[in-house]
Amino acid sequence: MSRFLNFSIFRYNPATPEIPPRMQDFQLDETPNMSLFIALNRLREEQDPSLMFDFVCRAAVCGSCAMLINGRPGLACKTLTQDLPDKITLMPLPVFKLVGDLSVDTGVWFRGLNENLEAWIHTDKPFDPQGLEDRMDNPTAHAIYDAERCIECGSCIAACATANMRADFIGAAGLNRVARFLIDPRDERQPYQVFEVVGTDEGVFGCIGLMACDDICPMEIPLQQQLALVRRKMALASLKGK
C-alpha cells in the first residue's frame, strides 16, 4: 500500500539571486498518517537541509504554515499526504513577501493590517484594579470568540482575486477583524468611525464576491456571513447618516 510521493517544490534563495526561482523534485516514501509537516522535515533532514519553510505549533493553531498545496492555499501541518495524489506541488503563498522557498512574510502584512484597522478595543474607561469585571452575556462572548478564532494564516488573502490584484485590499481576514470589533460592546467606536476605514475599495467594496475565501479558511470561520454583517451594519449606519 505504501506509496512513493513525488514532490515538486518551489525553490528560491534571495541570498543567491544568480540562481533563478525554479521547481525542484523530491521523492519520499509515504508513512501512515504522514502530514506535510512530517514530510517536509524529512526532506530537510534527509535530502536538502537548505529547504526553507515555516512551522511553529504543528497543530493548526498558529497560522505559520500556509502554502499552496497543489494550487490551493491551506495549512501544511494539518494536511495529510493520504488525502493527496502521489504528485504533490508546493508553492509559497502569493500576495505576501517571499522569505525563501516556501516561507513568506505574513507577520509584517498582518501587523500592518491591524495598524490600519486600529484593531484594538477603543475605550476611555480607566482600568480599576480593585473593581469587578464588566458583565457580558455568554452568547456575546461566544460570538466575539467565533470571529477572534482567525489565526492570520493568510490563506483567504492568497485565495482572493482582489487581494492578488491590489496590495492594499484588507481581504476576508481584515473584514472579519472589523466584524469582531463591531460586535464587541467594549469597543466604544461608533460604526461610522469604523467605516471611514473600511467603506472604500480597499475595504468592503473591494470584494467582488467570488467567495473563494469561505471554503478555504482552515478555522472554518463563516467569512461570507461576517462580510454580510459588516455590510449590513454599514448600510444601517449610512441610513442614520453618521
Partner 1 sequence: MKWSDAHLTDVLVIGAGLAGERVAIEAATQGHQVTILSLVPPRRSHSTAAQGGMQASLGNVAMGYGDNPDIHFADTVKGSDWGCDQEVARLFCNLAPVAVRQMAQWGVPWSRVVPGKRLLPEGVEVEELQEKAGLIAQRQFGGTAKWRTCFAADGTGHVLQYAMDSVVVKLGVTVHDRMEAIALIHDGEHCYGAVALSLRDGSLRPYLAKAVVIATGGYGRIYGVSTNAVINEGTGMSICLDTGVVPLGNMEAVQFHPTGIVPAGILVTEGCRGDGGYLLDKNLHRFMPDYEPVKKEVASRDVVSRWMLHHMSKGLGVDSPYGPHLWLDIRHLGKEHICVNLREVHAICANFLGIDCVEELIPVRPTQHYSMGGIRTDVNGAAYGLQGLFAAGEAACWDLHGFNRLGGNSLAETIVAGMVVGEQVARYAGERSLEFPFALVADAMAAQEDRVSKLRSRSGGSEDVYRLRKGMEDALLNNVGIFRTGEALEKAVSILQELYQRSANIRLRSSGLGPNPELYAALRLPGTLKLALCIAQGALQRTESRGSHYREDYPHRDDENWLKRTLAYWPPGADMPRLEYEPVKITELPPGDRGYGGMPIKGD
**Interface residue list for ligand SF4 (CB under 6 A):** 150-156, 172-173, 176, 216-219, 221, 223
Which member of 9, 36, 88, 144 binds partner 1 (CB under 8 A)?
144
**Residues in region 13-32 near partner 1 by CB under 8 A:** 13-16, 32
Which member of 121, 165, 235, 236 binds partner 1 (CB under 8 A)?
121
Least Å distance between CB 110 and ligand FES? 14
137: Cα within 13 Å, side-chain hemisphere:
3
- HEC sequence for the chain: CCCEEEEEEEECCCCCCCCCCEEEEEEEECCCCCEHHHHHHHHHHHHCCCCCCCCCCCCCCCCCCEEEECCEEEECCCCEHHHCCCEEEEECCCCCEEEECCEEEHHHHHHHHHHHCCCCCCCCCCCCCCCCCCCCCHHHHHHHHHHHCCCCCCHHHHHCHHHHHCCCCCHHHHHHHHHHHHCCCCCCCCHHHHHHHHCCCCCHHHCCCCCHHHHHCCCCCCHHHHHHHHHHHHHHHHHCCC
Least Å distance between CB 233 and ligand SF4? 19
| Residue 156, contacted partner among ligand SF4, ligand FES, partner 1, none, CB below 5-8 A by kind | ligand SF4
Q: Among candidates 68, 62, 57, 59, which has minimal Cα distance to 103?
A: 68
Task: Check binding of 72 to partner 1 (CB under 8 A).
Answer: no
Binding flags for ligand FES, 65-104, as an x/- string (CB under 6 A): x---------x-x---------------------------
Number of residues near partner 1 (by CB under 8 A): 65
**Residues in region 47-66 near ligand FES by CB under 6 A:** 55-58, 60-65
Smaller CB distance to partner 1: residue 61 or 212?
61
Smaller CB distance to ligand FES: residue 66 or 204?
66
Smaller CB distance to partner 1: residue 11 or 233?
11
Smaller CB distance to partner 1: residue 23 or 108?
108
